[in-house]
Amino acid sequence: MHPAVSPDRQRGITVLGLLILLSFLGVFVYAAMRLTPVFLEYMNVAKGMENLKSEVGSGANAASVRRTLEKHFDIDDVHSITAKDVDVTRDGQDLQVHVAYDAFTPFIANVGFVAHFEKTVTVSAASGP
In the chain, the number of structural domains is: 1
Structure confidence at residue 53 (pLDDT): 86
User: Count of CB atoms within 10 A of residue 65's CB?
Assistant: 22
Q: What is the pLDDT of residue 6?
A: 62
pTM here? Answer: 0.80
Cα–Cα distance, 38 to 112 (Å, whole number): 12
Contact between 129 and 54 under an 8 Å Cβ cutoff? The reply is: yes
Task: Tell me the three state secondary structure of residue 97.
Answer: strand
Q: Which domain holds residue 106?
A: 15-124
9 lies in a domain? no
Confirm whether 3 is domain-assigned.
no
The confidence score (pLDDT) of residue 12 equals 83
**pLDDT for res 32:** 97
The length of the chain, given as a count of residues = 129
Beta bridge partners of 120: 98
Chunked mean pLDDT (size 10), the chain, 129 residues = 63 89 96 96 95 82 91 93 93 91 95 96 71
Q: Identify whether 108 is part of a domain.
A: yes
Whether residue 45 is contained in a domain is answered as: yes
